[in-house]
Amino acid sequence: MKKILIVDDEPNILLSLDFLMKKNGFEVFIARDGEEALDIAQREKPTIVILDIMMPKVDGYEVCQFLKSQADLSHARVIFLSAKSKDTDIQKGYDVGADLYVTKPFSTRTLVKQVKELA
Amino acid sequence: MQQPSLKSALLILFAVFAFLLQFPLISIANQEHMISNIPQLYLYIFGTWLLMIVLLGILLERNRLNP
Amino acid sequence: MGERQARRGRSLVNNPYIYSLSLAVFCTAWTYYGSVGQAAQQGIPFLTTYLGPTLMAPLWWIVLRKIIRICKVQRITTLADFISARYGNTIWLGVLVTTVCVLGILPYISIQLKAVATSLDILLENPAPDKSVTGFATDPALFITIALAGFTILFGTRRVDVTERHEGMVTAIAFESLFKLLAFLAVGAYITFGIFNGFGDIFSQASELPSLRELFTLDESQYADWFWLTLVAMFAIFLLPRQFQVAVKENVDENHLRRAIWLFPLYLILINLFVLPIALGGNLLFQGQSVDADTYVLAIPQFFSQNGLTLFTFLGGLSAATSMIIVSTIALSTMVNNNLLVPIWLSGKSLQELKRKRINRALLNSRRLTIIGILLFAYLYFKLVSGQFSLVSIGIVSFVAVAQLAPATLGGLFWKRGTHAGAFSGLLVGFGVWFYTLILPTIVQAELLPADFLENGLFGISALRPQSLFGLTVFSPLSQAIFWSLLLNTGCYVGVSLCTRIGVSERKQAELFVDIFRYSPRTASALEGMKVVQAADIQELLTKFLGTRQTEASLKTFYRQYQTSYQPKADYRLVSYAERLLAGVIGSASAHVMVMSVVRKDDLRLEDLFQVLDESQQLVYANQKLKQKSEELEQLSHQLKRANEELKKIDHLKDEFISTVTHEMRTPITSIRAFCEILQDSPELSDDEQEQFLTTIIKETDRMERLINQVLDLEKFESGKQKLNLQEVAMNDIIQDALKSVSQLLKERGVTIQVNLSANLPPVQADPDRLTQVILNLISNAIKFCDSDNGQVRISSYLVDGVVKVNVLDNGKGVPAESQEMIFEGFFQAHDQTTKKPIGSGLGLTISRKIIEHHQGRLWVESEPNQGAKFSFTLPAPRTAKKLTY
């Protein structure tokens, strides 16, 4: 099973995404902030990372940059999932190396399809 | 080079001839020498005078338009 | 007759050749007779009188053209007017200039009379007149003078209107110039080629006599004279009253100057060609005889009994003299009238007292009297003084007199800093020195004054010797007179000008004079008398006062209004429209003057002169008002700028707020949507799971509703629409009620709570629901953020310093210093760079603070890291406190 790491500080979002990804055959790991995310990522080396941006301690941009800079982690596909929807925000997301940028609110059906494609 | 205006041409003319007809330059011609029986100074003054008139005439009649 | 013709077609006078020839009124009996006399005695130096004007000619384009333009625009007709107008239109300067001119020119006129008298004697072969004063009754010169007076009056005083040109006179002068040139050339040719064998012959014969040969060259002692006399002649060519009259006032078209600049010197060179030959010829022929060299021109042909030529020559000299007298006298009488008599006469009376007709008549008559007076005085001077001197020596004295006007005139044309005081003092000093060094010695020599003052100076002080003032002996008496008078004149002019302030109207005039070419380049060549106004000039005038854009807009309006389009010649409607526009800016009186200065007018009224003086007062007032207005405008615009900046800031904040709120809204919506989709797509869900998800959806919906309410609440507080339901409220009751509602939450979280409420709290004026909202907000925050394992919350209330204070403490991680203000600003941490969310952001605290502030209280936090947070608020306690007991 492919590993997927879901990072968001909103518990309800974690809950929904956790259910969704498990249902679609992924091994799910969750983190509530960037720091936790980095810990888990280094441990589990997930295939996909779904990343919120606005989080306490370490934000999503930093996590993404870190992942992409590490040889053993850069294989991970990073999907930003954020309410920040301005063109500049999306561009910044891709600039730091994201593979996909999805804005909230999102459709679960679309997201599942996209995750499966990237995996 | 830009065409000099009538004004500056006239000023230059004035300056040149003022110098020619005053000391010290005029003292060069101020000799008791006669050229075909006419005193040198007399010739010099009238000659310069006439030259100035001619130059003025040319300058002013050519320069129809621009002050 | 020339005038009648002139009025018909103006074809005769509007001619550059006529203009150039009219300038030759410069050549008078001085040129005709005097030059020969001077050449016979001194040789070459006689040429300074003509080289000066020749050298000045190229500068006419700058100097004379400017003077002409100014005089046209300001309707100035004499030199006295010019100088007086430039320096503020005061009376005394005009008086001084007129005096200088009259006293300076009287000798000049007198030598004309002398020349006429003497040449008449020679023609009629009278015996040489004795130099003593003859009986006046039989003196032919007196009759000549009277005849000339009559002639002049006829020529010059038909009307009062000073601006009307004497075009007949100008034409006559032009022809006269031609005539005298021809006559002189004729006699010169006759002498040179008829009596002698050409130039070479005369010169070679003369060179055999050492006394004559030295006339060929300049002596070292003559160097200084050569310079100073040339300089003075340069000034004379435009400052002599008669020259000013023909060159400036009678000028019809500025462009005629072009022709004149080279034609006039050509005339001069021609008329001087034979002077030295005639002089030498006379010296050779009349050796040993006491023939006055001034008379050679006539004496020689007569000697050879060439009666026809003698008569022709005499007429040439006569015409030269009379043209000088007539033009000069007219010019001088106008000056005396306008600048001396009329101001004195008018000073006592108001304008209403004088009917126009009477003024005209009176002016005419005073002019005529002036002419007669001038000529009589000239005659007297001739009789008493001039008879004893050569023509040229007296003539030069006049030159030096008018040269005193040069600093003030040239300064007035090119130096804006020249002031009235400077001009007046310079002129006065120059004139004084002139009189002292040049006139007095002649009076002495005429034996009207004791001679020793010449030898030993005034009061015996040798430094005050008139002919070597301050001990200057290097120059000849003439040169030193010129030197000192001009030096002291210019020195005073510059020095005093720099030390005095410029008056308002003076400054305006200074600008109008020095910058004349900037103002109306096209108007000056319009013909006088025709009401020709260029639309371009009107536009220029308007632009000066209204600015380009306003002018263009106003003109568009005008053309639309009158349904016409732009035409080069402005009609009266445009002119009056322009005047009205200007009146809005500078007042109607000043606007009128400004517009009229652009429009050519036929009549010169003295009232206009006085009005101009009035204008400057009004101008100053208008200027002050304008300054005030512009200051107010500045203030207003400053205020506007500040308000604008405020608005921009608020706008920016509003944008931030909106983006943050919408951001916050998306979170619950995201959950709701995700769970809805999951419920739809997952029929395999267990009942428990379904239950859980649906509950979450409902909770998130609540969350959104709460958020929306908070935002609306906040908006109400911000916009001041919030109404508080103020009642007397017991603080402690509110707190107890709030605690009751959170007791469940406390139990769930396992948080212990301590309550310390002071017993004797006075009631406060408050809205109980709102206050409850605040307490609940603070308590729930405390519960949320207190320590997770051993959560403790403490509430206390007490009275201190006249306010009721409530504290809510928790033992959580505390609030970092940099956030302690931000948490009350709700979402206002929004700078786009910040992606780190401070914990606990939301609108709760913001609203709480707003509520407390609306109750005239304060809400704040105190916190140290890891030592919990203490939220406190205060409410004012009114003094009339009914003590409530519990």
Q: How far is residue C685's CA from residue C696's CA, in Å, rounded to a whole number?
A: 15
C562, C618: one domain: no
Residue listed under structure tokens 């983190």: A31
Both C254 and C157 in one domain: the answer is: yes
> Looking at residue C457, what is its pLDDT?
67
- Express each pLDDT in C355-372 by its tens digit: 444 555 677 788 888 999
Mean pLDDT of C444-470: 70
Q: Which of C411-420, C647-656, C845-854 has the lowest mean pLDDT?
A: C647-656
End-of-domain residue from the set C389, C424, C448: C389
**Residue C758 belongs to a domain with what CATH number?**
3.30.565.10
CA distance linking residue C782 with residue C795, whole number of Å: 10
Q: Identify any residues that bridge with A7 across adjacent strands, giving them in sequence order.
A: A31, A51
Please state the rounded mean pLDDT for residues C32-59: 92
Comparing C240 with C707, which gets the higher pLDDT? C240
Provide the pairing of β-strand A3-7 with A27-31: parallel
Interface predicted TM-score of the whole assembly (ipTM), two decimals: 0.93
At C49-70, the pLDDT tens digits run 999 999 999 999 899 999 998 8
Domain identity same for C763 and C857:
yes
Q: Which region among A14-23, C199-208, C219-228, C839-848 has the lowest average model confidence (pLDDT)?
A: C839-848
Measured between beta carbons, the chain A residues lying within 8 angstroms of C835 are 53-55, 59-61
Please tell me the total count of domains within chain C: 4
Q: Nearest-CA distance from C676 to chain A in Å? A: 9
- Please indicate, yes or no, if residue C418 is contained in any of the structural domains: no
User: Which of C272-281, C458-467, C760-769 reaches the highest mean pLDDT?
Assistant: C272-281
**What pLDDT, on the 0 to 100 scale, is given for residue C577?**
79
Average pLDDT in the C225-238 region?
A: 93
Looking at the complex, does the CB of residue C675 fall below 8 Å from at least one CB of chain A? yes
Judge if C154 and C250 occupy the same domain.
yes
pLDDT at residue C739 tops 80: yes
List helix spans (H) across B1-67: 6-20, 26-29, 40-62
The pLDDT confidence band at residue C462, using thresholds 50, 70 and 90, is low
* Greater pLDDT, C582 or A83: A83
Domain spans of chain A, in order of start: 3-118
Q: Are residues C672 and C812 in the same domain?
A: no
Across chain A, mean pLDDT equals: 90
Chains in touch with A (3+ beta-carbon pairs under 8 Å) read: C
Touching subunits of B (3+ CB pairs, under 8 Å) are C
For residue C523, tell me if it sits in a domain. no
Smallest CA–CA separation between B2 and chain C, in Å? 20
Average pLDDT over residues C700-720: 84
Sign of CA dihedral B11, B16, B20, B23: positive
pLDDT at C269 (0 to 100):
95
Residue C575 binned pLDDT confidence (cut-offs 50, 70, 90): confident
Beta-carbon pairs below 8 A across chains B and C: 93
Min Cα separation A112/chain C (Å): 11
Supply the pLDDT for residue C459: 67
> In terms of CA atoms, which chain C residue is nearest residue B65?
C255
- The pLDDT assigned to C580 comes to 74
Q: At what angle do helices C223-239 and C406-414 cross, to 10 degrees?
A: 60
Dist CA C27 CA C21 (whole Å): 11
Answer whether A33 touches C (CB < 8 Å). no
More confident site: C731 or C590:
C731
Q: Which helix (H) or strand (E) holds C581?
A: helix C572-586
Contact by Cβ (8 Å): C323, C174: no
What gap in Å lies between CA C75 and CA C814, rounded to an integer?
Answer: 90
Least confident of C606-610, C660-664, C743-747, C793-797: C606-610
Sort out which chain B residues have CB atoms less than 8 A from C51's CB and list them: 21, 45, 49
- Alpha carbon of B62: minimum distance to chain C alpha carbons (Å): 10
Percent of chain C whose pLDDT exceeds 70: 83
Give the tens place of pLDDT for each residue, C320-347. 999 999 999 989 988 888 788 777 766 6
Average pLDDT, chain C: 81
CATH 3.20.20.120 fits A3-118, yes or no: no
Q: What is the pLDDT at residue C413?
A: 92
For residue B13, pLDDT beyond 80: yes
C218 or C145: which carries more pLDDT confidence?
C145
Cβ contact A105–C677 (<8 Å): no
CA distance C298 to C33: 8
Check CB contact of A93 with chain C, cutoff 8 Å.
no
- B14 Cβ under 8 Å from any chain C Cβ: yes
Do C537 and C592 fall into the same domain? yes
CA dihedral C695, C698, C702, C705 (to 10 degrees): 170
A113 touches chain C (CB under 8 A): no
Q: How far apart are CA C653 and CA C517, in angstroms?
A: 57
Verify that C47 and C175 share a domain, yes or no: yes
Domain boundary among C588, C604, C620: C604
C839 close to A (CB below 8 A): yes
| Same domain, residue pair C232 and C274 | yes
Nearest to C696 among A12, A23, A107 (CB): A12
Q: How confident is the model at residue C589 (pLDDT cuts 50, 70, 90)?
A: low
Query: Where is average pLDDT lowest: A111-115, B40-44, C486-490?
Result: B40-44
* Interchain contact, A107 vs C666, CB within 8 Å: no
Q: Mean pLDDT lowest for which of C7-11, C583-587, C680-684?
A: C7-11
Q: Is the pLDDT of residue C675 over 90?
A: yes
Report pLDDT for C128. 55
Q: What is the DSSP string of C374-397?
A: HHHHHHHHHHHTGGGS-HHHHHHH
Contact C495, C417 (CB under 8 A): no
C55 touches chain B (CB under 8 A): yes
CB pairs under 8 A between A and C: 70
Q: How far apart are CA C95 and CA C178, in angstroms?
A: 36
Residue among C689, C693, C839 whose CB faces A56 most closely: C839
pLDDT in the model for residue C795: 93
**Among the ranges A40-54, C446-460, C806-820, which has the highest mean pLDDT value?**
A40-54
pLDDT at C863 exceeding the cut of 50: yes
Share of chain C above pLDDT 90, in %: 29
Asked whether the beta carbons of residue C59 and residue B38 sit closer than 8 angstroms, the reply is no
Q: Are residue C620 and residue C567 in the same domain, yes or no?
A: no
pLDDT for the residue numbered C221 = 79
The whole-number average pLDDT for the span C755-778 is 89
Minimum mean pLDDT among C165-174, C215-224, C410-419, C589-598: which range? C589-598
The pLDDT of C237-248, averaged and rounded, is 93
Please give the residue range of the domain that contains residue C660.
Answer: 608-717
Residues C320 and C172 in one domain: yes
Q: Which of C325, C360, C389 is the last residue of a domain?
A: C389
C689 contacts in A (CB within 8 Å)?
A: 19
So what's the pLDDT on residue C832?
36
Shortest distance, CA A21 to any CA of chain C (angstroms): 11
Greater confidence (A72 vs C236) lies with: C236
Confidence of residue C563 (pLDDT cuts 50, 70, 90): confident
Does pLDDT of C422 surpass 50? yes
Does residue C124 belong to any structural domain of this protein? no
C670, A57: Cβ pair inside 8 Å? Answer: no
- pLDDT-derived band at C233 (thresholds 50, 70, 90) equals very high
Least confident of C170-174, C348-352, C419-423, C487-491: C348-352
Rounded to the nearest angstrom, the minimum Cα separation between B31 and chain C is: 7
Q: What is the pLDDT of residue C359?
A: 59
Residues of C in contact with A20 (CB under 8 A): 674, 678
d(CA C334, CA C340): 10
Chain-centroid distance of CA C118 in Å reads 53
**Contact criterion met (CB < 8 Å) for B60 and C200:** no
Instruction: Tell me which chain A residue has its CA closest to the CA of residue C837.
Output: A56
User: Does an interface of 3+ CB pairs under 8 Å exist between A and B?
Assistant: no
Nearest by Cα to C553 from C581, C590, C520: C581
Residues of B in contact with C265 (CB under 8 A): 49, 52-53, 56
C139, HSE (Cβ side, Cα atoms, 13 Å) = 22
pLDDT given for residue C406 in this prediction: 95
Same domain, yes or no: C658 and C785: no
Confidence of residue C167 (pLDDT cuts 50, 70, 90): confident
Q: What is the pLDDT of residue C1?
A: 42
Are residues C713 and C849 located together in one domain of the fold? no
Reported as a pLDDT band with limits 50, 70 and 90, residue C602 is very low
Check residue C356 and give its pLDDT.
Answer: 47
More confident residue, C158 or C299: C299
Could you tell me whether strands A48-51 and A27-31 are parallel, antiparallel, or unpaired per DSSP bridges? unpaired
Q: What stretches of C682-730 show up as alpha helix (H) in DSSP?
A: 687-718
Q: Is C837 on the interface with A (CB under 8 A)?
A: yes
